[in-house]
Amino acid sequence: MRVLGLLLVLATGPALAQGAFDTTGPVLRGTGEALPATPTPGADLAYGAYQRGFFVTAFRAANLRLERKADDAAAMTLIGELYNQGLGMREDPAKAAEWYRLAADLGDPHAQFALAMLTLRGRGVERAPDAARALLESASGKGHPAASYNLALLLLQSDEAADLARAAELLRQAGEEEVADAQHALGVLYARGRGVEQNALRAFAWFGRAARNGNLAGMVEQAIALFNGDGVVANEPEAAGLFRRAAFRGNAIAQNRLARLYVAGRGVPRNEIEAAAWHIMAAAQGLSDPWLDGALKNLSPEDRARAERLAAERTG
């Protein structure tokens, strides 16, 4: 038996990716202080400064590179990114677009992707979906995974079978590069049989990969499949554990589903105080649930106060 039939809802597709410059580590908000004067021979000073959060130094180093080599597309892209994010200087999307365009015209896939995202939103440039799509096509063809993912999202707006099939393939390419949003989106396609043959086992596998890469929507979908036994043997305690992990990380759907499990005593011991706490947290994010309101209406004032304290502790 399924819990009130409510664990079957698939998440919607993810939003457009936000990033525009590939990095291999965290970006720190630096103050622009100079890097050490003895860099490793052959090191990329501009990119290294960017990675370490020395954004003014990165800007200067990138400009020095351009003085030596006027067609240095990577340096142009880096300057564009600094303007785009306002790192070490005032944010200026229009200037960012100019620098991205210079690099994009030289065939740089990172610049093509970044310019496409600005063009899709009309940020710093006139909004032009067709031009943005052409840029994404070019960057994707050069192996840029985020471009493949965002191009797939554009194709998914179509109902044409060829577009949906190509979108699925693009998501697969990005997913193999561990783009978590693409992995989740491909799982949704397999679960729904859209662009690919419906396959619950493959959907579960892609949701799992997305979850392992930190995608909360993938974690929730994996939990739903585990609870219902869609493509895998049902395992309510394991499903509850996944919901709990996502709930503690602030996912409102997971908080709501976990609350229902605590009311029903499925996968977890029945506990109305825990249920109320998670329900309060989900409702605070705008996810209302009349069924839970009714199921918990007889909670004593003392127990309700305990639930409110729990919710406050978890969100504090």
pLDDT of residue 36: 43
Task: Using the predicted structure, report yes or no on whether residue 263 has a pLDDT greater than 60.
Answer: yes
pLDDT of residue 29: 33
pLDDT of residue 43: 58
Domain ranges of the chain: 235-316
What is the rounded average pLDDT of the residues 57-80? Answer: 96
pLDDT of residue 174: 98
3-class SS at 287? coil
At 5, the pLDDT band (50, 70, 90 cuts) reads very low
pLDDT of residue 44: 83
Using alpha carbons, select from 220, 212, 211 the residue that is nearest to residue 240: 220
CB 172 within 8 A of CB 151: no
pLDDT of residue 13: 39
- 128 φ, ψ (degrees, to nearest 5): -150, 85
Please identify which residue in the block is written with the tokens 């944010």. Answer: 91
At 27, the pLDDT band (50, 70, 90 cuts) reads very low
At 191, the pLDDT band (50, 70, 90 cuts) reads very high
Question: pTM score, two decimals?
Answer: 0.82
